[in-house]
Amino acid sequence: MKQLITTFIIALILVGCNCNVTQNEKEKMGTISEQVIKSTIEEINANQTIVDVELLERGVRQTAAFWMKQDGTEADFKEFCIANYIAGADARYELFESIQTDLEVLFGNFNKMSVDLKLPLHVEGKEIQPIDEIFGAWDPSAHFTDDMFSSKIAFIVTLNFPFYTLQEKNDLGEMWTRTQWAYARMGDLILSRVPAEVSQNISRASSAADNYISNYNVMMGNLRNESNEQLFPDGMRLISHWGLRDELKSDYADKERGLEKQEMIYQIMKHIVYQTIPQQVIDNDEYTWQPISNKIYKEGVEETVVAEPNTRYQQLYNLAKASMAADEYCPTYPSYIARSFDQQMEVSYDEIEQMFIEFINAPQVAAVSDIISARLGRELRPYDIWYDGFKSRSSISEDLLTAQTRKLYPTADAFQNGLPDILLKLGFTAEKANSICAKVKVDPSRGAGHAWGAQMRSDKARLRTRIGADGMDYKGYNIAVHEFGHNVEQTITLNDVDNYIMNGVPNTAFTEALAFVFQMRDMELLGYNDDNSDAMDAMTLDIFWGCYEIMGVSLVDMRSWKWFYENPDATVVELKETIIKNAKEIWNQYYAPILGEEDSPILAIYSHMIDVPLYLPNYPYGHLIEFQLEQQLEGKNIADEIMRIYPVGRLTPNIWMKHAVGKEVSTVPMLDAVTKIIEKQ
């Protein structure tokens, strides 16, 4: 599940200036002439002992790139740079320390306000009121950069701690000291100058999409097959897509009616993608529904289906439009695609696309599918993309697992109190386990669950998962263990890193990787120890098959955004049709030969495609990292390795991985390992 990362979008509301300056002129950045830039550099260099002239020039030029007429004349620019450039190493470090201390105060409290304002939307409790949605959509940090630029703090940062490109970080970073890395990350602070109104629109659209997804539930006990039989228990309420997917996975253990249940869930997913799902059955237990024939009944009487009116794609459309409105204010990364990959992931779109295509087109896929088919005793179906039989839990009744988790964790407080024991089982000392868990707060989630990290050391990370009236079921527990992995990463990389500005990981794939490491051990944490000597092989095949699934989903997300940028005037209907078209094309090329059924739209079912667009590539990238981490962890104390690896903080992905496992992120280790397993069959 996603980690809700607080990204403080740099925003600016235009302030007043001379009446003879037009609005367009006020908004134009980079108004300083080349002559003034050069003379400014020369004068600073002449008046101070400059150790690094290249750094000086970089800082002056980047400051000039953001300067607007409202910030002052060219003479004002020159005077500002001369007065505020810090040449001495000691004085520069003092400036850096002051800025990062103040940033922790700002970012930490912005984050805490967002967490608290969204509590009614994210956490089970009173019925959501319209005012809750308004407050939850409000972004406390929307005016952050407005204030930073109007006070000229932003220019002090760009002048003294200039930005380095991803290529430069990768080329130079292995030789940098920790202080040089911290200075470079300070340079990442000011990369855009987005109007606060645009920033707030993004926040509103994002909150609306998140609220839509968080309340998209299917009442499974109200489903009927074509013989009017009930297959799922009363009260089962599953969120799309995660709950549906996890139920489908658990049905492999049902030898009597599991296949029929899976076929029904598959039809539900297709209805959601096509928007043929009856609007009446979404999060509503007043109707029974036959997904195969798509008929609904109320008190035994058939009623007319009113299909959901493309609401799913309208949410994405609104969020995409709001995000694209920021493009013109982001000169370094001038598209949402560039900001998602080059800025946030620090891996290029092309590199990710090539990596994923090579993987899902690898010959190992067909060989592993043959293993799955032999185990199931049938030809594969599209939903076998979620085959779960490599995990030991697949042979254990979920009812038994749920009975155990409900007994252990009847309430959120019980799970809260059980967190230290989880860390003890993973090898943490009691002191460290208690220290980490004291920084984590468990809440019962309205949605599928998520982890939301703190942004100041005095605050706590939040763990949200579903906890029913009867206690935490196995699905909720499985998600909770995943989210707790996020919380452990969030807490370590905030509290154990040397500089606040270096807190976190290179990108969200790296926190997903640790979450996967935790989730992979959920059965072990329940006391089911797998003594099978082939456990590593099973884990490898499980991760491999998970990558195969989510890489295709990610490619749908990526190509749909690429199309939207090529067709910015497209309608909601055209966006919907394109997403489905992309899903079918990718399916037909890479999945139908393995899983059958031409033109399946199933790759478009993922909810994150709607509420956190272009987040999905972090999952398979995270799985690749996870596998390399698992290889590193094998035979070692997990806790010791986590504490060696994660406090290094936010390096670039490849430099972080070299520190962690000695190699860059790659598909090769997993593909090679799968090949060896296949050869043993």
Give the pLDDT score at 393.
57
Percent of the chain with pLDDT over 70: 95
Give the pLDDT score at 97.
97
With 80 as the cut, is the pLDDT of residue 646 above it?
Answer: yes
Average pLDDT over residues 391-418: 86
With 50 as the cut, is the pLDDT of residue 520 above it?
Answer: yes
> pTM of the predicted model, to two decimals?
0.81
With 50 as the cut, is the pLDDT of residue 21 above it?
Answer: no
120 neighbors 447 (Cβ within 8 angstroms): no
With 50 as the cut, is the pLDDT of residue 12 above it?
Answer: no
Give the pLDDT score at 394.
56
For 178, the token pair is 């920790």
Block residue for tokens 């807190």 = 503
Give the pLDDT score at 10.
27
With 80 as the cut, is the pLDDT of residue 69 above it?
Answer: yes
Any idea which of 110-124, 161-175, 586-600 has the lowest mean pLDDT? 110-124
Residues 6+ apart with CB under 8 A from 126: 120
Average pLDDT, the chain: 91
Encode burial over 53-63: b for 16+ CB neighbours within 10 A, e otherwise.
eebbbbbbbbb
With 50 as the cut, is the pLDDT of residue 8 above it?
Answer: no
35 neighbors 47 (Cβ within 8 angstroms): no
Give the pLDDT score at 489.
97
With 70 as the cut, is the pLDDT of residue 18 above it?
Answer: no
Every domain of the chain and the residues it spans: 23-190, 216-312, 316-390+530-680, 397-514
Give the pLDDT score at 285.
95
Give the pLDDT score at 122.
85
Per-state percent for the chain, helix, strand, coil, to nearest 5: 60, 5, 30
Residue pLDDT, tens place only, 30-52 = 889 999 999 999 999 988 877 78
465 neighbors 476 (Cβ within 8 angstroms): yes
Residue pLDDT, tens place only, 568-577 = 999 999 999 9
CA atoms within 13 A on the CB side of 413: 0
Residue pLDDT, tens place only, 423-453 = 999 999 999 999 999 999 999 888 767 889 9
Give the pLDDT score at 19.
30
Any idea which of 190-199, 410-419, 619-628 has the lowest mean pLDDT? 190-199
For 313, the token pair is 């794609």
DSSP state of 413: H
For 348, the token pair is 């290029």
Average pLDDT over residues 489-499: 97
Local confidence band at 141 (pLDDT 50, 70, 90 cut-offs): confident
With 80 as the cut, is the pLDDT of residue 27 above it?
Answer: no
Percent of the chain with pLDDT over 90: 76
Residue pLDDT, tens place only, 180-202 = 999 999 999 999 888 878 888 99
> Pairing between strand 449-452 and 301-303?
unpaired
- CA dihedral (83, 89, 90, 92) in degrees, to 10, reads 40
Residues 6+ apart with CB under 8 A from 637: 427
Average pLDDT over residues 117-135: 87
Average pLDDT over residues 100-114: 95
Give the pLDDT score at 209.
95
With 70 as the cut, is the pLDDT of residue 392 above it?
Answer: no
Local confidence band at 5 (pLDDT 50, 70, 90 cut-offs): very low
Residue pLDDT, tens place only, 221-243 = 999 999 999 999 999 999 999 99
Which has the higher per-residue pLDDT, 221 or 467? 221
Residue pLDDT, tens place only, 50-60 = 778 999 999 99
Local confidence band at 531 (pLDDT 50, 70, 90 cut-offs): low
552 neighbors 593 (Cβ within 8 angstroms): no
CA 477 to each of CA 157, 387, 612: distance values in angstroms, whole numbers, following the listed order: 44, 19, 23
DSSP labels, 78-130: HHHHHHH---SHHHHHHHHHHHHHHHHHHHHHHHHHHHHHTHHHHBSSSPPPH
DSSP labels, 26-62: HH----S-HHHHHHHHHHHHHHS--S-HHHHHHHHHH
C-beta contacts of 284-293 below 8 A and 24+ residues apart:
284/219, 285/219, 285/221, 285/222, 287/222, 288/222, 288/223, 288/224, 289/222, 289/223, 289/224, 290/223, 290/224, 290/225, 290/226, 290/228, 291/223, 291/264, 291/267, 292/225, 292/226, 292/264, 292/267, 293/226
Reduced to 3 states (helix: H, G, I; strand: E, B; else coil), residue 549 is helix
Q: To which H or E segment does residue 399 belong?
A: helix 398-408
| Strand residue runs (E) in 497-633 | none
With 80 as the cut, is the pLDDT of residue 555 above it?
Answer: yes
Reference 470, options 437, 443, 444, 441; nearest CA is 444
Average pLDDT over residues 604-612: 95
